[in-house]
Amino acid sequence: MSHEPESSLTPFFTPTGIVVVGASHNPTKLGFGLARNLALSGYAGAVHFVNPKGGRLFERPIYPHIADIPDPVDLAVLLIPAPFIPQTLVQCGERGIRAAIIASGGFRETGEEGAKLEAESLRIARSYGIRLLGPNCIGILDTNLPLDTTFLPPPAPPPGDVAFLSHSGAIGAAVIDWARGQGFGISRLVSLGNQADVQETELLAPVAADPYTRVITLYLEGVSDGRQFVQEASRVTREKPIIALKVGRFESGQKAVASHTGALAGQESAFDAAFRRAGVIRATISEELFDWARALAWCPLPKGRNVAILTNAGGPGVTAADALEANGLRMAQFQPATLDSLRETLPPFASLHNPVDMLASASPQQYADCLQIVLADPGIDSALVILVPPPMYSTGGVAKAIIPIIYAAEKPVMVALMGERMIHEALEHFRAAHVPEYRFPERAASALAVLARRAEFLASPPEEPVTLTDVDYEAVQAILASSGSAAALTDAYFLPQEALTQIMTAYGIPVPAPQLARSAAEAAALAEQMDYPVALKIASPDISHKSDVGGILLNLADAESVMQGVERMVTAVRAAKPQAHIEGVHVQPMILEGQELIMGAVQDPQFGPVVMFGAGGVEVEGVKDVAFALAPLPLKEAHYLLAQTWAGRKLDGYRHIPAGDKTAVLDMLIRLGQLAADFPQLAEIEINPVRVLPDGQGAWALDVRGKVRNEE
């Protein structure tokens, strides 16, 4: 467990002395609550109060001015009307305080005037080197230090091992109350408020460094800097798990886009991709955040996905088995020895196979024995114990019997306690023993699945993005510069086809680049440098539908056929369109038949370059068989994109569809990601379709579109 390195944030978490500016005698004021919480929280450092009215509060003097406070003091908590904040920050700065929590509201969240006040406050803070938390937040709670700078009514949450960082103060308050009732404790709670200065990303490491914190939960309404978040979180998640609930999906709304990739990529896909890259576990609903946190805080990690279910009732066992499968876990197959032991332990009509139905008569001792038996089976990675209030025994008795076995186990065990009042005694035992319990098997199964994901994440070492050196950065830079100047003064423009072909080629993405021959002999010479068969197309600005006038010839297998073909084609075209200007003939290798798919990249406003991969064609937006990853891509992320989509899985071959060249697809994805990462001005780029040839024969970018946004 790492220790917190000294930083400008240190006074927020381990202050030596705190001043509450706005402490109040009036019990109906928040300034009273704040003073009370700080005075009574058990905080060991100095606590000072400031209020121009003076007097005494909680056995301390109230100083009229900040300048009067004696040492030590390194953290100020400000709960005064917003207009007084700037001058108070000046006083803090003069007094040498370098950290302040602004609990007051009345800033950016209230409109333009408030935003100005916030900017002014930040300016002053920066000028004194003061770090700010808030404004408009409920502050910091540390149950182990302890420290409580909130104004929330008592009781404070019980000490625990789950940290909570929140963009919403109200949810923080609700979570404290909820934790009390749900039987888990909070280690640290930080309410971020408007984030004028300190934001969520900077807090990840200090919160993770807290030795009491075993899991970090986040309530996010966004992130301040996408890439920085990914970088910080990637480091932290190797040490401690992070679970995030990201809200505000409905606000993402509509946007003007130029490609399928643009239409399909959105804030939420970028968040998904970013969280995955950073190893952050994303909760989709509030309940999951703490269902999962308890499991991660209290359980050892499983070695695999095979689960044993023990139950005293058939129905819930079946429900649990369904839920395990729905969560990507597997019903373990028991070894013969396990079945033998269960048979010796249980009555004749018990069901020995997974889920093990020990029958309604199951005693605490049978629960304990069977749990021990299944945990000893090397093919079992975790256990889910279901307890319906038994007719003959108390649920508390069962809890007491199995808790020692759960303690001793190196495999995670969760409990589904079905009922409410009759399970109360068991519930208290399990909570005290830090065994995660859930009312329904489905919630237990979802928590078990998160443990498995966490174990797999830790088992898979971090991978840096692939950086290919055989790309020509300067060439693309030059192309974009010249096409930019050509595109006059528009903010955004589409790249011409020729520029796109050059860009693809510079980054090693194969495009069928037709080469111009001005004679039959030249055509044959060009063809000799390509792989046969080749195709010929008439090169004329005056002919749009080439095939109508005999202007396309396919599948020419040797130089002889090419020469004859050119003669024939020119004759035919001249006959059909006597007035057309013929520049020559385009020669290109034939692109063989193969699977088709789409890949693209966009620049996400929060997370930068994002790569999309999936089933292409015009129907991509309807079928939505696509996946996203942050660019540039580590190899495993490229593999993930293939594994996640039908278009990608199909590359292994399917029924009569032959396997495609996966290596070439992975290579193209990595090159496209590198391109998008190298050139942020490439707002959208899309290859649709990519034609994938059979294994070993490569892949081609058949059609490319690209849009550039001039940097502002």
Largest CA distance in the chain: 106
- Residue 615, Cβ density class (10 Å: 0-12 exposed, 13-18 middle, ≥19 buried): buried
Using DSSP bridges, classify how beta strands 682-692 and 704-709 pair: parallel, antiparallel or unpaired.
antiparallel
Told to check if 518 binds its own copies by CB under 8 A, we report no
Q: Distance between CA atoms of 520 and 584, rounded to whole angstroms?
A: 9
CA dihedral 639, 641, 645, 651 (to 10 degrees): -40
Q: State which of positions 392-411 bind its own copies (CB under 8 A).
A: 392
Told to check if 649 binds its own copies by CB under 8 A, we report yes
Told to check if 590 binds its own copies by CB under 8 A, we report no
Nearer to its own copies, 240 or 443 (CB): 443
φ/ψ (deg, to 5) at 220: -115, 140
Told to check if 182 binds its own copies by CB under 8 A, we report yes
Nearer to its own copies, 256 or 285 (CB): 285
Q: Give the binding range for its own copies (CB under 8 A) out of 51-59, 67-75, 166-174, 659-667.
A: 166-174
Which one, of 590, 586, 604, lies nearest residue 673 by Cα?
Answer: 604
SS3 label, residue 672: helix
Assess whether the previous peptide bond of 412 is cis (omega < 30° from 0). Answer: no
Minimum CB distance to its own copies, residue 588 (Å): 25
Nearer to its own copies, 349 or 711 (CB): 349
- Cα end-to-end span (Å), the chain: 44
634's enclosing H/E stretch is none
- Whole-number Cα distances in Å, 57 to 30, 140, 141: 14, 21, 21
- Residue 399, Cβ density class (10 Å: 0-12 exposed, 13-18 middle, ≥19 buried): buried
Q: State which of positions 414-473 bind its own copies (CB under 8 A).
A: 418-423, 439-443
User: What letter does residue 654 receive in the DSSP assignment?
Assistant: B
Told to check if 109 binds its own copies by CB under 8 A, we report yes
Told to check if 36 binds its own copies by CB under 8 A, we report no
Nearer to its own copies, 167 or 453 (CB): 167
Q: State which of positions 367-396 bind its own copies (CB under 8 A).
A: 388-389, 391-392
User: How many residues interact with its own copies (rule CB under 8 A)?
Assistant: 81
Minimum CB distance to its own copies, residue 172 (Å): 9
Nearer to its own copies, 25 or 439 (CB): 439
Told to check if 658 binds its own copies by CB under 8 A, we report no
Q: Give the binding range for its own copies (CB under 8 A) out of 108-116, 120-128, 194-202, 697-705.
A: 108-116
Q: State which of positions 201-240 bind its own copies (CB under 8 A).
A: 219, 221
Instruction: State the CB neighbour count (10 A cutoff) for residue 71.
Output: 11
Q: Distance between CA atoms of 252 and 315, rounded to whole angstroms?
A: 42
User: What letter does residue 660 receive in the DSSP assignment?
Assistant: B
Nearer to its own copies, 208 or 245 (CB): 245
Nearer to its own copies, 422 or 591 (CB): 422
Q: State which of positions 597-616 bind its own copies (CB under 8 A).
A: 615
Q: Which two tokens stand for residue 13?
A: 């978490």
Burial 157-166 (b: 16+ CB within 10 A, else e): beebbbbbbb
Q: State which of positions 56-95 bind its own copies (CB under 8 A).
A: none
Told to check if 104 binds its own copies by CB under 8 A, we report no
Told to check if 657 binds its own copies by CB under 8 A, we report yes
CB 301 within 8 A of CB 456: no
Minimum CB distance to its own copies, residue 264 (Å): 14
Told to check if 170 binds its own copies by CB under 8 A, we report yes
The dihedral sign for the CA sequence 48, 53, 56, 61: positive
> Among 169, 226, 600, 706, which residue sits at the site for its own copies (rule: CB under 8 A)?
169
Q: State which of positions 325-364 bind its own copies (CB under 8 A).
A: 325-326, 331, 348-349, 360
CA dihedral 432, 434, 439, 442 (to 10 degrees): 180
Q: Give the binding range for its own copies (CB under 8 A) out of 203-211, 236-244, 582-590, 652-660.
A: 652-660
Which one, of 141, 167, 185, lies nearest residue 37 by Cα?
Answer: 141
Minimum CB distance to its own copies, residue 40 (Å): 17
Q: State which of positions 526-585 bind its own copies (CB under 8 A).
A: none
Minimum CB distance to its own copies, residue 118 (Å): 14
Q: State which of positions 239-258 bind its own copies (CB under 8 A).
A: 245, 247-251
Told to check if 625 binds its own copies by CB under 8 A, we report yes
Q: State which of positions 123-162 bind its own copies (CB under 8 A).
A: 151-153
Give the count of alpha carbons within 13 A of 636, CB side only.
9
Using DSSP bridges, classify how beta strands 131-133 and 382-387 pair: parallel, antiparallel or unpaired.
unpaired
Nearer to its own copies, 430 or 679 (CB): 430
Told to check if 24 binds its own copies by CB under 8 A, we report no
Nearer to its own copies, 177 or 456 (CB): 177
Minimum CB distance to its own copies, residue 283 (Å): 10
CB 332 within 8 A of CB 442: no
> Among 323, 358, 526, 527, which residue sits at the site for its own copies (rule: CB under 8 A)?
323
Which one, of 166, 148, 179, 125, lies nearest residue 36 by Cα?
Answer: 148
Nearer to its own copies, 310 or 587 (CB): 310
Nearer to its own copies, 64 or 111 (CB): 111
Q: Distance between CA atoms of 344 and 370, rounded to whole angstroms?
A: 10
Q: Give the binding range for its own copies (CB under 8 A) out of 174-182, 397-405, 508-516, 699-707.
A: 174-182
> CA 512, 514, 520: angle at the middle one, nearest 5?
140
